[in-house]
Amino acid sequence: MDLIQKKLLEQVAGLHEIPEGAYNIRANGEKLGRNTTANIDIVSKTDKDGIDIIIKPGTVNESVHIPVLLSQSGLQECVYNDFYIGEGADVTIVAGCGIHNCGVDTSKHDGIHTFYLEKNARVRYIERHYGEGDGNGENIMNPQTIVHLKEGAYMEMETTQIKGIDSTVRVTQGDLAEGASLEIREKIMTHGKQYAKTDFRVDINGDNSSVNLISRSVAKGESKQEFFSIINGNAACAGHSECDAIIMDDACVTASPQLTANNIDANLIHEAAIGKIAGEQLIKLMTLGLTEKEAEEQIINGFLK
Amino acid sequence: MLELKNITYEVEDNQDNKEILKDISLTIGDHFVAVTGPNGGGKSTLAKIIAGIIKPTSGQILLDGEDITELDITERAKHGISYAFQQPVHFKGLTVKDLITIAAGKPMTVSEICDILSEVGLCAREYVDREINSSLSGGELKRIEIAMITARGTKLSIFDEPEAGIDLWSFNSLIRVFEKMRDEINGTILIISHQERILDIADKIVVIADGQVRTVGTKEEVLPELLNTAETCRTLTDKM
């Protein structure tokens, strides 16, 4: 691993070195390293680019890291990763993509992640996206996450895109069986002329299942963000989505939530708020001795924390 | 010592100029000063003018002899002015710990934050990581607002109606916070209040009504008059 790749790895996976436990590191379209454990197997796909991650039933307190690094300008790839989580397993999965583009060509990573959670499986899924570069090449990422939750399964998903991605279309789809629950928290900050779109669609099919989607974003400069969410309540279930955006400068934010209840006992809520930083928040922090710019930074950092 | 010289504040109201503050001159040098008077009389406007949130139309503000009239909010804060809002502001994502740390202007240990929070009657363990949002009650938000001022420990601390928006039960314990602050804190405390119990512990009371200073004096001088001359509602007296 060279220095650039090490830095990307730290940004997307919080890792300084090769992680413990199971991992698969992909750099510039090649397998850079892989480790499997007694309970977690990682197998390369033969029909297309990507891997299968197979976690045995009952596996607990284990983690899988699958970072993707792109440091070769102009590299474009589409990767399929499938996760099979056995019954009763409880694991943490850290994925992420870091792009360093120092050329003039567009670098692009499209990752399609499909999760199959068996009964009562639990997954904490963390995904980070980061881009940097000193050239004029664009960094594009289009992550797709598809989750299938069987009875009693639980998945918590945390996605963060703070810096350097010029264009992203993030698609998340899910279906939930009885007693399953899905929590998604996304944090996005865009600046310059960046574009970010969130497209969320979930079918809540089982009784006593629930979905909670929380999106917080900051749009600066001339960036553009779009938030679409569709929640279909097909059973006695609970669905909640919340989209909260701070708009600055000449940015543009669209929030378009859609709720459909197909069952009398479906309880669905959406909250959306778009606005600039409240003047009184700035004033409060300025009375504590911060300049207006420092106050703004504190408010944004807190908001996206 | 804070000196206000001929402070006037006008706003445009249906193309007419309306005077909110009319030529206010006041010297505040005592330890614990209470400002009182009818609602709409200009008390909060005056506090905001001192903190730099509102610029006066004319007049001069001196802090320890230095003219601070042209300084902005941040510069006044750095000069030693603190201002507790009447309605505390909510912050999504910022915690009690974050705000106390910003207020103190230096990294704070949990035990230092604990000391400050216990001063205002909050148990630190329950509160340090709480977000400053509507999950906190009015009384809790007020206490955190006050804690930020004590964390700063500046030479002038302004409190704008600390009793507003909280229940009587919470207020009774809040009074003790101010009694303690009066005994322990150096510098000047300027507190806008309608509460007799606050006026009762003040070294000096300033009555502001209709944009003007009506009376200034000790509680012995001001309180009896204030309590006797409370205007009676004419409709009510007519009925009686």
Q: Residue B35 class from Cβ within 10 Å (0-12 exposed, 13-18 middle, 19+ buried)?
A: buried
Shortest Cα distance from A165 to chain B (angstroms)? Answer: 24
A279 in B contact zone (CB under 8 Å): no
Task: Give the span between the Cα atoms of B177 and B185, in whole angstroms.
Answer: 11
Task: Give the span between the Cα atoms of B240 and B238, in whole angstroms.
Answer: 5
**pLDDT at position B191 over 60:** yes
Dihedral angle, C-alpha A280, A284, A287, A290, nearest 10 °: -100
Place of tokens 């567009």: A106
Closest CA to A149 of A83, A92, A215, A105: A83
> Angle of helix B168-184 relative to helix B138-152, nearest 10 degrees?
10
Among B51, B94, B105, beta carbon nearest to A287: B51
Asked if the Cβ–Cβ distance from A280 to B73 is below 8 Å, we say: no
- Tens of pLDDT, residues A23-64: 999 988 888 889 999 999 999 999 999 999 999 999 999 999
Give contacts of A289 with chain B, Cβ < 8 Å.
74, 77-78, 102-103, 105, 152
B11 in A contact zone (CB under 8 Å): no
Residue B156 near residue B172 (C-beta atoms within 8 A)? no
Q: Which residues face B218 on adjacent strands? A: none
Residue A234 near residue A259 (C-beta atoms within 8 A)? no
Q: What does the DSSP assignment read for A218-241?
A: EE-TT-EEEEEEEEEE-SS-EEEE
So what's the pLDDT on residue B230?
Answer: 54
- Tens of pLDDT, residues A143-155: 999 999 999 999 9
> Angle of helix A292-303 relative to helix A279-287, nearest 10 degrees?
120
Helices in chain B by DSSP H: which ranges? 43-51, 73-78, 96-104, 110-119, 124-127, 138-152, 168-184, 196-200, 219-228, 234-239
Q: Report the pLDDT averaged over residues B196-203.
A: 90
B85 in A contact zone (CB under 8 Å): yes
So what's the pLDDT on residue B229?
Answer: 62
Among B74, B94, B99, beta carbon nearest to A286: B74
- B141 pLDDT band, cuts 50/70/90, is very high
Place of tokens 């007799």: B196
- Tens of pLDDT, residues B71-104: 999 999 999 999 999 999 999 889 999 999 999 9
Asked if the Cβ–Cβ distance from A298 to B102 is below 8 Å, we say: yes
Residue B144 near residue B135 (C-beta atoms within 8 A)? no
Query: Nearest 5°: phi and psi at B234?
Result: -65, -40
Most B CBs within 10 Å, among A283, A287, A304, to test the B interface: A287
Task: Give the span between the Cα atoms of A139 and A136, in whole angstroms.
Answer: 9
Asked if the Cβ–Cβ distance from A303 to B102 is below 8 Å, we say: no
Q: Which residues face A226 on adjacent strands? A: A197, A254
Shortest Cα distance from A204 to chain B (angstroms)? Answer: 29
Q: What percent of chain B has pLDDT over 90?
A: 59
A278 in B contact zone (CB under 8 Å): yes
Closest CA to B58 of B49, B42, B85: B49
Q: What does the DSSP assignment read for chain A?
A: --HHHHHHHHHHH--SSSPSSEEEEEETTEEEEEE--SSEEEEE-SSSSEEEEEE-TT-EEEEEEEEEEE-STT-EEEEEEEEEE-TT-EEEEEEEEEEE--SSSPEEEEEEEEEEE-TT-EEEEEEEEEEE-SSS--EEE--EEEEEE-TT-EEEEEEEEEE--SEEEEEEEEEE-TT-EEEEEEEEEE-TT-EEEEEEEEEE-STT-EEEEEEEEEE-TT-EEEEEEEEEE-SS-EEEEEEEEEE-TT-EEEEEEEEEE-STT-EEEEEEEEEPPPHHHHHHHHHTT--HHHHHHHHHHHHT-
**pLDDT at position B235 over 60:** no
**Please, what is the Cα angle at A91 between A32 and A188, to 5 degrees?**
75
So what's the pLDDT on residue B151?
Answer: 92
So what's the pLDDT on residue A216?
Answer: 95
- A15 pLDDT band, cuts 50/70/90, is low
> Angle of helix A292-303 relative to helix B96-104, nearest 10 degrees?
160
- Tens of pLDDT, residues B18-71: 889 999 999 998 889 999 999 999 999 999 999 999 999 999 999 999 999 999
Give contacts of B80 with chain A, Cβ < 8 Å.
none
Task: Give the span between the Cα atoms of B236 and B205, in whole angstroms.
Answer: 29
Helix (H) or strand (E) holding B92, with range, is none
- Tens of pLDDT, residues A108-145: 889 999 999 999 999 999 998 888 877 677 888 899 99
Mean pLDDT taken over chain A: 92
Q: What is the DSSP letter of B105?
A: T
Q: What percent of chain A has pLDDT over 70?
A: 98
Q: Residue A243 class from Cβ within 10 Å (0-12 exposed, 13-18 middle, 19+ buried)?
A: buried
Query: Nearest 5°: phi and psi at A284?
Result: -55, -50
Residue A229 near residue A201 (C-beta atoms within 8 A)? yes
- Tens of pLDDT, residues A184-211: 999 999 988 999 999 999 999 999 999 9
Q: Report the pLDDT averaged over residues B190-210.
A: 92
Q: What was the ipTM of the complex prediction?
A: 0.91
So what's the pLDDT on residue A244?
Answer: 94
Take residue A48 and report the two structure tokens written for it. 């297309």
**pLDDT at position B239 over 70:** no
Mean pLDDT taken over chain B: 89
Task: Give the span between the Cα atoms of B177 and B147, in whole angstroms.
Answer: 10
Range among A179-183, B11-15, B187-191 with highest mean pLDDT value: A179-183
Among A287, A299, A301, beta carbon nearest to B73: A287
- Tens of pLDDT, residues A251-273: 999 999 999 999 999 999 999 99
